Amino acid sequence: MERHCVLVATFLLMLHIVHAQDQIGFISVDCGLAPRESPYNEAKTGLTYTSDDGLVNVGKPGRIAKEFEPLADKPTLTLRYFPEGVRNCYNLNVTSDTNYLIKATFVYGNYDGLNVGPNFDLYFGPNLWTTVSSNDTIKEIIHVTKTNSLQVCLIKTGISIPFINVLELRPMKKNMYVTQGESLNYLFRVYISNSSTRIRFPDDVYDRKWYPYFDNSWTQVTTTLDVNTSLTYELPQSVMAKAATPIKANDTLNITWTVEPPTTKFYSYMHFAELQTLRANDAREFNVTMNGIYTYGPYSPKPLKTETIYDKIPEQCDGGACLLQVVKTLKSTLPPLLNAIEAFTVIDFPQMETNGDDVDAIKNVQDTYGISRISWQGDPCVPKLFLWDGLNCNNSDNSTSPIITSLDLSSSGLTGSITQAIQNLTNLQELDLSDNNLTGEIPDFLGDIKSLLVINLSGNNLSGSVPPSLLQKKGMKLNVEGNPHLLCTADSCVKKGEDGHKKKSVIVPVVASIASIAVLIGALVLFFILRKKKSPKVEGPPPSYMQASDGRSPRSSEPAIVTKNRRFTYSQVAIMTNNFQRILGKGGFGMVYHGFVNGTEQVAVKILSHSSSQGYKEFKAEVELLLRVHHKNLVGLVGYCDEGENMALIYEYMANGDLKEHMSGTRNRFTLNWGTRLKIVVESAQGLEYLHNGCKPPMVHRDVKTTNILLNEHFQAKLADFGLSRSFPIEGETHVSTVVAGTPGYLDPEYYKTNWLTEKSDVYSFGIVLLELITNRPVIDKSREKPHIAEWVGVMLTKGDINSIMDPNLNEDYDSGSVWKAVELAMSCLNPSSARRPTMSQVVIELNECIASENSRGGASRDMDSKSSIEVSLTFDTELSPTAR
């Protein structure tokens, strides 16, 4: 292993001097601090801390319990916690290509009164940094920034709610802690002293925290003289003015530590300065070895001058146990000496961030339209698990930055004009801005985005004409229907002249008049022909064209549905279903028929039966919900019919029916394997998670069950049947008092007793679905000792035999760890107390871990970076000194 000795010239470059009181470039964030209390100077260090207001748009402020306050520094008294969403991020402005020391402090302090310690992940941009699982800890890395922005994200991985107390960034010189391109993860940093004093800013100009460390086989060496520390690493005078040597002159000076896993690579930095005045015949010379292998030397420390010996390439220790020894040479008359040592493990951040121009552009779009989707935090494209809702990205090549290829902001309540920020999404292939309230003209720049081939601007209030650049673009699919003030379409656009004014040609009105007359004659001929024919026989009730003059349906006092472009007449419904020829199924709403829209797009048409228990209110609720929500795991609404007594819902066609059919074997004879079942429940959970967190206001499905989970031709799962769904109309509401509705067996018992509906009611129902997929047994079976599936599984679990619970059709072909995790998750969803159930965000994460465990059985790699922990035999707690081994 190669080492390198840093011997810096004695002259000082003023550009690199950092005085003790300087905080140039420092970012010191007291998370959760009220803006009115910001900024303040911390008494012990003199550091200036500011509120996190403006750095994060979510989360809630908190404070550690009073009994812990006497033990805490002021910045750790407050915190911000994140009960909503999966990924919550801080956005910091930094200087690109700068070496930063980055610290995040977590002091639980029983702030929530639950006395349950943390367990969540910390991400650095799109990459996993570490897992926070200690009540009091500091996480620290050294990292060279690549852009002018930096994101620190807290990720829910279970029931624990993420929180953070302090976030600090300290810029350092580029020639400090140089690696081969990796970042450094703090392992330990000690100065050799028998005191109990911890050292940081202002003694350390970079605010590194130094912990005292000493062994009873050593003797302390000190000096009152100044040590020259103003070199590369600018170490504190109080650190370098102390050192240790072995009590026995011929002994080695040993430092040991352990890393996990054993293959972990690390860098070490040893700092030396001779503190004693040597006599004429004295010599201090030593070598450095790691696990008995020579690494550097012979070396003699310089009198009262700091020098650092560090690794040029990272090291590894056999078995993860490291023994660093400083060994005197034969010519040395004095024992070896050491002043201070630091060690860092290598941490790779392999996932490249989304293309910087794309990030700037999408954030500009977000700011322009005030988009506040909970998923729009952190990196837009990566990791895939946290992809922003409404985006698709191309990140297939790990050597290049991901790019945004699709933007769907349909039904997002957008107002104003089409923002110019979109033109900076230069790799965009699809753009959907439909069903908003956008005004103004269609901008020319859309035609200049070379990759853009699909544009949907329908259902807005745009005006002017369609730019020729869009009309003439080959392969372009452009939808501008439903813009009443748009003067021209693809067939009738008037080009602009060189002076920028519309030139009107005499030919245009003449041709238009002739065409109009021809169309009128044709329509009259067709009318008389059709009158001679019989009206087509239509199954079901005859169409009615009556409409109340006040805009209300004559059958109900419910307000009529207000929307655009998705309404069909009953005769159109009859035509698309070929007079209701092919029945797909039957539900509480009525019959479901197969049909075609535009002759090619397959659809499922649900006709409201007059005898249905579900009436116009449920019909209206489902239409209005599906018109405003869009997610890959929710069945899409193609359109609807609301004509007199005739009502129909037209959905996208799901070729593989519902999940219940596949589990019961009524649809086909093959058995869904465990991996496919997990994929289906993950996708279903993602749809629910979107309803709970992605919708404003949040939605509760209220009827989650296997018959309402539909599968398309690729076995992608989508939630359906939103007739019972409810929203929380007032922001901040935790529940809605409502009449109990749902399916027996799936009903949340707490909701049943209290009539209080919450998102956790869906979580309970989802837990039942999960048990169905695990056991393939009916939800209610009166022949069992415990009729309800939750009670039955609970009894079987007490026996500890997972195979007695699992579907025997799987023939034990599954990863038992994945199954156990799924069973535990299902039972946590069924907790009688809704407060103790996980959120759907947490459920999604847990199920993805089940999939990763199942995939690893077949050698597949996990989507998310594997986590590794590092155990140091020098135990460094946040506020405790290390203990020597």
Binding residues for ATP, by number, are: 606
788 Cβ neighbours under 8 A, 6+ residues apart: 745, 779, 780
DSSP summary character for residue 205: T
Spatial distance between the Cα atoms of 634 and 628, rounded to a whole number of angstroms: 12
| Cα Rg, the chain, nearest whole Å | 34
Spatial distance between the Cα atoms of 655 and 715, rounded to a whole number of angstroms: 9
- Residue 541 · residue 646 · CB < 8 Å: yes
- Using DSSP's 3-state secondary structure scheme, residue 40 falls into strand
Which long-range contacts link 737-745 to residues 24+ away (Cβ below 8 Å)?
A: 741/702, 741/703, 742/702, 742/703, 743/703, 743/705, 744/780, 745/779, 745/780, 745/788, 745/789
Spatial distance between the Cα atoms of 806 and 825, rounded to a whole number of angstroms: 15
Catalytic residue among 703, 748, 762, 807: 703
DSSP E strands: which ranges in 608-645?
637-643
The reply to whether 703 belongs to the active site is yes
Full 3-state SS string of 546-562: CCCCCCECCCCCCECCC
Provide the token pair at 612. 């249905």
DSSP summary character for residue 137: E
State the DSSP string of 489-537: -TTSPPPB-TTSSBPPPSHHHHHHHHHHHHHHHHHHHHHHHHHHSPPPP
Longest dimension (CA), the chain: 126
Whether the bond into 697 is cis, omega within 30 of 0: yes
- Residue 669 · residue 639 · CB < 8 Å: no
726-727 and 699-700 strand pairing: antiparallel
Task: Give binding residues as ranges.
Answer: 606
Angle between helices 840-857 and 816-829 (to 10 degrees): 170
- Residue 302 · residue 342 · CB < 8 Å: no
Spatial distance between the Cα atoms of 478 and 705, rounded to a whole number of angstroms: 38
Question: Residue 393's beta-bridge partner residues?
Answer: 404
- Residue 678 · residue 774 · CB < 8 Å: no
Full 3-state SS string of 248-310: CCCCCEEEEEECCCCCCCEEEEEEECECCCCCCCCCCCEEEEECCEEEEEEECCCECECEEEE
Spatial distance between the Cα atoms of 31 and 85, rounded to a whole number of angstroms: 18
DSSP summary character for residue 103: E
Q: Please give the torsion angle defined by the CA atoms of residues 141, 143, 149 and 151, in that order, rounded to the nearest 10 degrees.
A: -30
Closest CA to 368 of 436, 419, 426, 404: 419
Closest CA to 340 of 260, 231, 237, 226: 237
- Residue 237 · residue 210 · CB < 8 Å: no
* Identity of the residue numbered 394: N
Residues 199-210: b if buried by 16+ CB within 10 A, e if exposed: bebbbbbbbbbb
Angle between helices 674-689 and 816-829 (to 10 degrees): 30
Instruction: Enumerate the active-site residues.
Output: 703
